[in-house]
Chain A
Amino acid sequence: MSDTTAPAPKLSEVEHVKIASRYLRGTLVESLANRLTGALNPDDTHLIKFHGSYQQTDRDLESERKRQKLEPLFSFMIRVRVPGGVASAAQWQRMDALSDAYGNGTMKLTTRQTFQLHGVLKRNLPAAIQGFNEVQMDSIAGCGDVNRNVMCNTNPHESAVHGAVVGIAQAISAHLTPRTTAYREIWLDGDLQETTEAVDDEPIYGHTYLPRKFKIALALPPYNDSDIFSNDIGLIAIEENGALLGFNVAVGGGLGMTFGMNETYPRLADLIGFVPADKVLDVCEKVVTIQRDWGNRENRKLSRLKYTIDRVGLPAFVAELHQRLGYELAPAQPYQFHSSSDAFGWTGAPDGPSHLVLFVEGGRILDRPGYRLKSALREISAFHTGEFRLTGNQNLILANIAPAHRARIQAILEENGAAPKAEQLTALRRGALACVALNTCSQAFAEAERYLPQLLDKLDAVVRAHGLAEAGILIRMTGCPNGCARPYLGEIGLVGKAPGRYNLYLGADHFGERLNKLYREMLDEDGILRELTPLLAAYAANRAPGEGFGDFVVRTGVVKATVKGLDFHD
């Protein structure tokens, strides 16, 4: 095993938990067996993240249950990995059934192409995990201080190279998956190994894993729907004559920050070179080990790779990488992104397989009166022979639809009110992202997924009034500054600071290559509309041809462009 961190005087609490955890076991088994609480032992709440789950409470019921002399309504979010975002119909069916049996009856398609089940009670965790394990899905490393779900562009029809890129995404995911058998023992076998040291070996991570979460995404230009620059490692596929040559490598992206702590900031990844396809696994592994060894383990707010790189300087980081690789990266190759959003609707040849990119508001698969998306997809999953592809924008692609199924799928969606006509939705709404936030996320200061559609009702009126219904302005809302819905890459970024109050960020570009900047603080809904309305009006009146809203506000001096993460707060 490689050297791990030099002795640190003040390791963070979570580091101590990891050290004592015997490769992520902790006291999870005891926690699960405790019938007196729906919660885990406090230390285990850190460890279960590595198993793909967060302990949460229903914050809507917090004061009510306290008065009722009941503990908070604890439940668990389980994040099920879908490397590359490709799920089979059988996997979709299983997740659909599990969400009804153990979850809150809905599924969330996340901005990292995973399925999230919400509201799973502690006693149902093993059954839920066993349920998706049976269809070859897992949640290990869904969260925690390890490499998370590896994202990949999902447009299967775009390029023959796509299949190769997805394959590499899956290979990276497998290579960086923790090797501990704890996951299997706790959730699947129920059979704990006594001598863990002998059984477990984490050749890449070591027994304390990474200092913080780690994210990798792959993109196939011209699409950047995986927002690769927001990742610790972003890989841009470079193809030549229909063959995959390799990847441009970008390092040090990450969007989370903490209010009031200017030493924390969102940062986009720096392009450091090109690697041939057969070496990409090696590069990923070595970047991970540098972060393992150099990352800050004392203050988790400063642990991400982006801070490691800004601390040592990019040249020093690249030099270390070259040394660990034993070779140097080639210069980055030219590439161009045209879009970071999804193109909705049908594509494909009339007599060959076709694809349907389906708008899913907030990524939430559910039924509600007049909109029975969940039922429709369940029905489709019974016969659809292609895949269910999860996009990085919380949408869904029914891919490789057999010609014979095309009309039937369209009919089912329409019958269930689940195929809104593009013209009914503004481009603003179609590209909107929101994190889960209240009522289950413990980090949230404000609403996001539950509120954004209402705000959009009002903003839609504004954009329609100014003839901007088809202007693809990226709007993203989160309930806290941690960045799950990538708000700092939104042309309009709204980050919750208090109930009903948001900071407004403006000036990101349309392709995920420039961060936005704080424009106004603590706006309520009226404030948001008051600030945005004149800007949208000016944009409608004065934009240059093809100019995005984010570029417009920068050009007209509404906000300064954020060139790099360290300038974000300037």
Chain B
Amino acid sequence: MPALPILPPTLDEAALQQLTAGLTSQQLVWLSGYLYGQAAGAGAPSAAAPVAAAAAVPAAAEAPAAAEKLTILYGSHTGNGKKIAQQAAAAAQRRGLVAEVRDMNDYPPRQLAQEQNLLVVVSTHGEGEPPISAEELHQFIGGARAPKLPKLKYSVFALGDTSYLHFCQTGKDFDERLAALGATRLLARADADVDYHAAADQWVEAVLDLIAGAPAAAAPAAAEVAPAAAVGAPREAAVVAEIAPAHYTNANPWPAKVLESIQLNGRGSDKETYHIELDLAGANLAYAPGDALAVRPLNHHPLVEEVLQAARLSDSAPVLLGGESLPLAAALASRRELTVLTRDVLERYAALAPHAELHGLLADTARLQPYLYGRDVADLLLDFPTDQLTPQALADTLRPLPTRAYSIASSLLAHPDEVHLTVGAVRYEAHGRQKQGVCSSLLADRVAVGDEVRVFVEHNEYFKLPTNVGTDIIMVGAGTGIAPFRAFVEERVELGAPGRNWLLFGNPHFTTDFLYQAEWQQHLKRGGLARLDVAFSRDQAEKVYVQDRLLERSRDVFGWLENGAHFYVCGDKNRLGHAVQAALVQVVQKEAGLSAEDAAAYVKNLRKQRRYLEDVY
């Protein structure tokens, strides 16, 4: 798709002549309507907004430096930020804007001073921390060397998760700091929850309306005009969104048939891990090792019943969700989050049920988190009953049921038309009731071979194999964190990648919890794995974890890293992610003879180079 040129903000006769030269009468008619629409664009700041034109401009020289620039900066861990940035760029293009998409990781902070229009898409991690790729810029704008930015117009799209206390904190930081540095906020910051798609669509349209006016109308007409643009001198192409083979989303998932469901843990294990194979035949659905598969869950019927009973509401009471009317039970089963309780739900519920204790909880973070932990919607309704709850109010109080994403455990090269998952069944007793994970229990108990589950791929931009097949990789996984590494090794075997693969795996017991043991043994025998180290924490008096194996093998770990190896971690963020990073710092400290600080910097640099990659949850 050729780039559409940007016009200067003011037009003269000559320019108009040039604009319309060579257009057919039909095209001129269309253009007149288009330009009218542009001028009438609601809220468009007339002075500042660049006017887009769909026609050709002969040369850049004649539409000089005055052209306004749009930069879209993203910083995110999973690649969702990049996706939104690219979506915004594509939308800008349809409005005739040239937008440049930049990864914060590679963006020189001082360049901020040269920006005119800036969109920031940034996620938040852990306790309100920025993603690694955003760290440097985040620090820069918050520091003393940050320049004044009086000419900058910006808006921030913040990615987060309302179940965390510091929801969208990094986005808030960017928003506040840019304002403090004198920049003009084009549009109020959008704070998006896990299911960000609708919020992203809305924000992109609204903010681009403000910058460039309404988009080009009918696509076919635009296509007719487009060839004329080719007359002009070629320009630097804007970033174009990748075109996926088939686009499945939450709203439009692929109904994948279950081909196989195997409990991977041997008898007597405390763990319950399932290997699920799903059919993609006919889906034209592409994924790469490192991607995740989002699964649309359904709440377990008994839980829906418990919630209805606790709410003292009828299962058949009609409620309206997004313009659609459906019985409350159905709405709760398929459209509302019931198993996880979050702050935002408590806030909305507190407005309905004015319990002093509930308000007290919301006011006291130290008590709120322990309350939320292990409780579900039924617990909330039982703890704080109210007569004010109508079916609709309940539906409105609860969060939409988000999809659950699982790291894909297979390579398409090894298993064409299939996608495999490694799913740990979540079951526990808490606060007097038996609980289970909404999606893991669906996959473990409630779907049988032959049933369908609704899925779509969530691409993970960064958790990917090295592009150079000769690069070595070290993979550290615990529990279901083994999943992407099965995909990695399968892919590298299929590709005949000469780079060495080293897997370190941990779980409680050797006999029952060595996930995919027989496959790893075969890979070792045939060279698909160069090394395999295992840590079974509960097989001996003292607990041993994968990080301990890293330390035991420190010389080789460091040797591989120095040789350019990529280092991957997958598993529980708190138990594995932090411990592995700390162990790696120790490894570097020991083997390179560095101070703790310098070793930490070494590891941080690995992250920066995207050679230390995490898929932790």
Contacts and interface: CB of A to CB of B under 8 A. Distances in A.
Contact of A71 (B262, B515, B521): B521
Interface string A165-209: 000000000000000000000000000000000000000000000
Contacts of A65: 266
Nearest to A122: B510
Interface string B248-262: 000000000000001
Contact of B517 (A61, A67, A69): A69
A33 interface: no
Contact of A69 (B511, B512, B518): B518
B262 A68 contact: yes
Of the candidates B514, B534, B536, the one having the most CB atoms from chain A within 10 angstroms of its own CB is: B514
B275 interface: yes
Nearest to B275: A69
Contacts of A121: 510-511
B266 A70 contact: yes
B539 interface: yes
Interface in B526-555: 532-534, 536, 539-540
Contacts of A68: 262-266
A35 B552 CA distance: 14
A71 B518 contact: yes
A61 B266 contact: yes
Nearest to B266: A70
Contacts of A71: 514, 517-518, 521
B534 A36 contact: yes
Interface string A113-156: 00000000101000000000000000000000000000000000
A302 interface: no
A66 B264 CA distance: 10
B510 A123 contact: yes
A38 interface: yes
B516 interface: yes
A73 B518 CA distance: 12
Given A70-B517, A71-B521, A38 B266 contact: no
Given A69-B275, A70-B517, A123-B539, A35 B510 contact: yes
Contacts of B524: 36
A347 interface: no
Interface string B500-514: 000000000011101
B520 interface: yes
Given A35-B510, A36-B524, A36-B534, A69 B519 contact: yes
B517 A73 contact: no
A375 interface: no
A65 B268 CA distance: 12
Contacts of A70: 264, 266, 512, 514, 517-518
A37 B534 CA distance: 10
B110 interface: no
Interface string A87-131: 000000000000000000000000000000000010100000000
Contacts of A38: 510-511
Contacts of B540: 123
B267 interface: yes
A73 B512 CA distance: 9
Interface string A25-66: 000000000011110000000000000000000000100111
A5 B263 CA distance: 53
A452 to B, nearest CB: 25
Contacts of A123: 510, 539-540
Contacts of A36: 517, 520-521, 524, 532, 534
Interface in B54-103: none
Interface residues of A, number: 16
A123 B536 CA distance: 12
A484 B2 CA distance: 84
A67 B510 contact: no
Contacts of B533: 35
B532 to A, nearest CB: 6
Nearest to B260: A67
Nearest to B263: A68
Nearest to B520: A36
A71 B521 CA distance: 9
A69 B517 CA distance: 6
Most chain-B Cβ atoms within 10 A of its Cβ — which of A36, A64, A68? Answer: A68
A73 to B, nearest CB: 7
A214 B518 CA distance: 37
A73 B266 contact: yes
Given A36-B521, A36-B534, A61-B267, A69 B510 contact: no
A73 B263 CA distance: 16
Contacts of B510: 35, 38, 121, 123
Contacts of B267: 61, 64
B348 to A, nearest CB: 44
Nearest to A123: B539
A69 B264 contact: yes
A65 B512 CA distance: 9
A36 B511 CA distance: 10
A70 B517 CA distance: 5
A66 B518 contact: yes
B286 to A, nearest CB: 26
A135 B514 CA distance: 35
A73 B511 contact: yes
B262 A67 contact: yes
A77 to B, nearest CB: 16
Contacts of B539: 123
B274 to A, nearest CB: 10
Contacts of A61: 266-267
Contacts of B536: 35
A35 B532 CA distance: 9
Given A61-B266, A61-B267, A121-B511, A69 B516 contact: yes
A407 B539 CA distance: 43
A64 B264 CA distance: 10
B21 to A, nearest CB: 68
Contacts of B275: 69
Contacts of B534: 35-36
A25 to B, nearest CB: 24
Interface in B26-51: none
Nearest to B512: A70
B266 A69 contact: no
A68 B261 CA distance: 10
A68 to B, nearest CB: 5
Interface string A526-570: 000000000000000000000000000000000000000000000
7 contacts: A35-B510, A36-B517, A61-B266, A61-B267, A69-B264, A69-B275, A123-B539
Closest 6 CB pairs of A and B: A69-B518, A69-B516, A70-B517, A35-B534, A70-B266, A71-B517
Given A35-B510, A36-B524, 20 more contacts: A35-B533, A35-B534, A36-B521, A36-B532, A36-B534, A38-B511, A61-B266, A61-B267, A66-B518, A68-B262, A68-B263, A69-B275, A69-B519, A70-B266, A70-B518, A71-B514, A121-B510, A123-B510, A123-B539, A123-B540
